[in-house]
Amino acid sequence: MKKNHFFLVILLCSCFQVAAYGQRINRLINDDWLFRMSYQVHKETKQRVDLPHTWNAQDALSGKADYKRGIGNYYKDLFIDPSWKDRRIYLRFDGANAVADLFVNGKHVGEHRGGYAAFVFEITDFVQFGVVNKIWVRVNNGEQLDVLPLVGDFDFYGGLYRDVHLIVADQTSISLLDYGSPGVYLSQQKVTDQLAEIAAKVKFSSSDETTRNLQINVVVSDADKVIYKTKQAVAIPFGDTEWEQAFSLPNPHLWNGREDPFMYLVTVSLRDGDKIIDCVTQPLGLRYYRVDPNEGFFLNGKHLRLHGVCRHQDRAERGNALLPIHHQEDVALMVEMGVNATRLAHYQQAEEMYDLMDQNGIVTWAEIPFVGPGGYDDKGFVDMASFKRNGRTQLIELIRQNFNHPAICFWGLFNELSLSGDDPTAFVGELNNLAHKEDPTRLTTGASNTEGAINLVTDVIAWNRYDGWYQGMPDLTSAFFDKQHQRYPNRAMGMSEYGAGASIYHHIEKLVKTSPISWFHPEEWQLFYHMANWKIIQDRPFLWGTFVWNMFDFGAAHRTEGDRPGINDKGLVTFDRRVKKDAFYFYKANWNTTANTLHLTSKRNTVRKNKRQTFLVISSEPEVELFLNGVSQGVRQIDSEHVVKWEGVSLEKGTNTIVVRSLGSHALEDRVTLTLSD
């Protein structure tokens, strides 16, 4: 979103913190909470914490498979200004894993079940004005049979791990209680290069027992230029009501992915005479897209090969208690590598991530945590009413909270579900119908690793394939997709996961496949795996999208493999984001056409046993020259995958300096010093 959009917001809505009559106040209340686990019953056991916070940042990430899953208690003193007495008071939680119960002054306000969506409680009737009020939030990340997900190859960090807001609004306002949504929906009814038809829906909530005659204003802006505006008198009665207005924009400036992620800004304000009493702003990125079973994804009428990554929302030392800077760093690394699509797995992620997807033009697959066992025990679906009710609620929350994000093109409904026992296929069908009811404009998808009717339910389907890591070699992936495409020629299919583990401390000189469950995950095998899979992908244009598993290493406390327990090391970047693995540079050279890349692989393997070595270089430049101890070993041209190699280079005993230089339009150089051991 353009920076000067925000100046227009100030003019239209005024600032949230000024003392304009009736305007909404939104304050972060992350600081100075007290925390204790439920088993710590003594009062003196409470400790001060700031949010975001998780109690599993240490135990889960140390590889402790039975990390603490139970109840944590958060306490805060909250002063309620007496000037707010005729207004409505809310607490908004951007995320609490997994079940949260809110108490105000000892009274139970409500419960939210689900660890990844935002939720809002109105506390007007529970607070006392002009005094300090006692806030208590009881958070439970224990296993529960009716809260998704039941199982997963990732850590279920407990806590108030995202922001908490105190919101003060007029008695009549744009609703804050519609499943945590902004209360404003901008539905793209029909978009072409010549015309965009939009339906704006606004939900109101009023605690005033008399009907209020107000005015609603809708303004669409392009930077500091207003391109559309309307105002209309509205009579808002007590309770919840809706207002709808259709409008069109001729010759729209389209949101066009990485090429041009342009967005308009839509400001909806509610006025009482000349006073603004509420105001909400939302992005409007206009685009149209489709998926063809033979040719893949098209954005705004043009073919776009979606080469993407999956992303989990955790990192070293912090678990899932991330700050905005962490999301920004993650997306910057994606952009550097040339990513144009993401699968935000396996759950709803922070609002900041969807904003960053919009702003960077990254086509997004957003999904609910309907996760199956994969290669583990347990199951992801139980055929009981409370489980299905929770699944429906989490899908509604995902869609309504993220409805206006142009980057989102796919709603993901499931991942690696097992069909044995309680068969989830019928319920996936229910979710598919619900997704289309909530949002008729987007496609549904799923990530499958099994055969069966479940793969025919969603609009498009994708598959998790690990040939060359867990089983066989990568050529099994090509055979699989060719067979599926032949069997279902009218079914659009993609690859939702593919990946291999790698430790930056593990290396091999001769390419030999390792065991995925061993303590040895050489970086060289991961690079080979991705090189082979990228060639398979390139040769199959019918794949509508492909997503590397994973962009970053992530926490999985039950794993005992790689260079330490508790980590899934399939990331292209290390868990702490400090080191880009060799495979990162391979994708950067192939995906980021504007970057200058020259990378000598296996540089971390500084002590070699074999005299004759193969050196593999990744480059965006057409020709590269390699030098051994100052002597040229020849000039080589890169291949179609931006790789070049020198085989049979003889090292000298002791220290050897390897230098590679590009001979293209950019003078690039990379080097390493190696030792040939006795």
The DSSP H or E segment spanning 376 is none
DSSP helix/strand/coil, 637: strand
Q: What integer pLDDT is reported at residue 13 of this predicted model? A: 52
Phi and psi, residue 133, nearest 5°: -110, 150
Mean pLDDT over 190-208 rounds to 98
Report the distance separating Cα 310 and Cα 550, nearest Å.
Answer: 5
Look up residue 380 and give its two tokens: 């992801």
Contact 537, 467 (CB under 8 A): no
- By C-alpha distance, which of 192, 204, 255 is closest to 405? 255
pLDDT at 9 over 90: no
Catalytic residue selected from 122, 351, 416, 497: 416
Q: What integer pLDDT is reported at residue 321 of this predicted model? A: 98
Report the distance separating Cα 582 and Cα 587, nearest Å.
Answer: 9
pLDDT band of residue 43 (cuts 50, 70, 90) is: confident
Architecture of domain 31-174: Sandwich (2.60)
Contact 169, 389 (CB under 8 A): no
428, 433, 439, 445: CA torsion to nearest 10: 30
Q: What is the pLDDT of residues 95-120, one digit of tens each?
A: 999 999 999 999 999 999 999 999 99
Q: What is the pLDDT of residues 602-658, one digit of tens each?
A: 999 999 999 999 999 999 999 999 999 999 999 999 999 999 999 999 999 999 999
Q: Does domain 289-595 have CATH number 3.20.20.80?
A: yes
Report the distance separating Cα 207 and Cα 281, nearest Å.
Answer: 23
Q: Locate CATH 2.60.120.260 in the chain.
A: 31-174
Mean pLDDT over 28-43 rounds to 94
pLDDT band of residue 3 (cuts 50, 70, 90) is: very low
pLDDT at 2 over 70: no
- Write the DSSP string, 527-565: HHHHHHHHHHHHT-TTEEEEEES-SB-EEEEEEEETTEE
Helix-helix angle 523-538:475-487, to 10 degrees: 30
pLDDT band of residue 375 (cuts 50, 70, 90) is: confident
pLDDT at 590 over 90: yes
Report the distance separating Cα 280 and Cα 275, nearest Å.
Answer: 15
Q: What integer pLDDT is reported at residue 252 of this predicted model? A: 98
DSSP helix/strand/coil, 256: strand
Mean pLDDT over 576-586 rounds to 98
Which fold, 183-284?
Immunoglobulin-like (2.60.40)
Report the distance separating Cα 431 and Cα 495, nearest Å.
Answer: 21
- By C-alpha distance, which of 389, 197, 281, 315 is closest to 5? 281
Report the distance separating Cα 603 and Cα 659, nearest Å.
Answer: 11
pLDDT, the chain, mean = 95
Q: What integer pLDDT is reported at residue 22 of this predicted model? A: 56
Q: Which amino acid is at 57?
A: A
Look up residue 551 and give its two tokens: 């962009």
- By C-alpha distance, which of 174, 13, 30, 171 is closest to 92? 30
Report the distance separating Cα 271 and Cα 173, nearest Å.
Answer: 10
pLDDT at 345 over 70: yes
Report the DSSP pairing between strands 33-37 and 47-49.
antiparallel
Mean pLDDT over 288-305 rounds to 98
Q: What integer pLDDT is reported at residue 14 of this predicted model? A: 40
Rg (CA), the chain: 27
Q: Which amino acid is at 244?
A: E
Angle, CA of 304, 306 and 311, to the nearest 5° = 150
Look up residue 642 and give its two tokens: 């931006």
Residue 406 burial (CB count, 10 A): 26
Q: Locate CATH 2.60.40.10 in the chain.
A: 183-284, 607-676
Beta bridge partners of 444: 411
Q: Could you confirm whether 44 is annotated as catalytic?
A: no
Report the distance separating Cα 450 and Cα 583, nearest Å.
Answer: 28
What is the three-state SS of 159-221? ECCCCEEEEEECCEEECCCCCCCCCEEEEEEEECCCEEEEEEEEEEEECCCCCEEEEEEEEEE
Q: Locate CATH 3.20.20.80 in the chain.
A: 289-595
Burial of 310 (0-12, 13-18, 19+ CB in 10 A): buried
pLDDT at 1 over 90: no
Beta bridge partners of 202: 184, 243
Residue 273 burial (CB count, 10 A): 10
Look up residue 476 and give its two tokens: 């099994």
Beta bridge partners of 167: 26, 90
Q: Where are the beta strands (DSSP E) in 212-288?
A: 212-222, 225-236, 239-250, 255-256, 260-261, 264-272, 275-284
The DSSP H or E segment spanning 394 is helix 385-401
- By C-alpha distance, which of 525, 485, 493 is closest to 509? 525
pLDDT band of residue 16 (cuts 50, 70, 90) is: very low
Q: What is the pLDDT of residues 643-672, one digit of tens each?
A: 999 999 999 999 999 999 999 788 899 999
- By C-alpha distance, which of 655, 649, 652 is closest to 636? 649
Class of domain 607-676: mainly beta
Q: What integer pLDDT is reported at residue 44 of this predicted model? A: 85
